[in-house]
Amino acid sequence: MPQSIYIGDAQYAFDIVKTIYSEAGPGLPGTSQERARVAIIHKELESHLGPGNAAIEEFTLAPDAFLTLYPVLFMIAAALLNILLGQIAGISPWLTAIVALTFSILSPLLFILEFFLGYEVIDPLLPKKHSFNVMSLVINVSTG
């Protein structure tokens, strides 16, 4: 049976988002703005669940991995190598073709692995930052 969202609940959610935006502002993971948002959310959870019933989980991430240009750069390199096939002095056209094919395969492969399957292929090559999750430690067991 679907539950209704009451105006008071919607206003409460809106007020929390407004508080987070006005006090912490926007910011990427691993920034001081994120730490401020985490503190606000943690305080709010503890005010409803009681002290000690909300936790902050720290983890490491590479925030630029999702925005990386490696797949695009590989695609451009493959296209340029195909255009220059046989025109680069001292380099065999076969070698140019093999390198272009490798870049052509790597480009969609990296895209699929990173964006669709969520594998962290490029992450080890990029700088890391610490980020946080806020979670409830209360388990609600319903017997209905």
144 pLDDT higher than 70: no
Which range (3-17, 24-38, 103-117, 129-143) has the least confidence?
129-143
AA letter at 65: A
Distance CA 13, CA 16 (A): 5
2 pLDDT higher than 70: no
- The pLDDT score that the predictor gives to residue 61 is 84
pTM of the model: 0.63
Chain segment 87-123, per-residue pLDDT in tens: 877 888 888 889 889 989 988 888 888 888 888 888 8
Q: Nearest to residue 133, comparing CAs of 33, 32, 42, 12? A: 42
Query: Cα separations (Å) of 122 from 28, 106, 134?
Result: 19, 12, 26
Chain segment 19-63, per-residue pLDDT in tens: 999 999 888 888 889 999 999 999 998 998 888 889 999 988 887
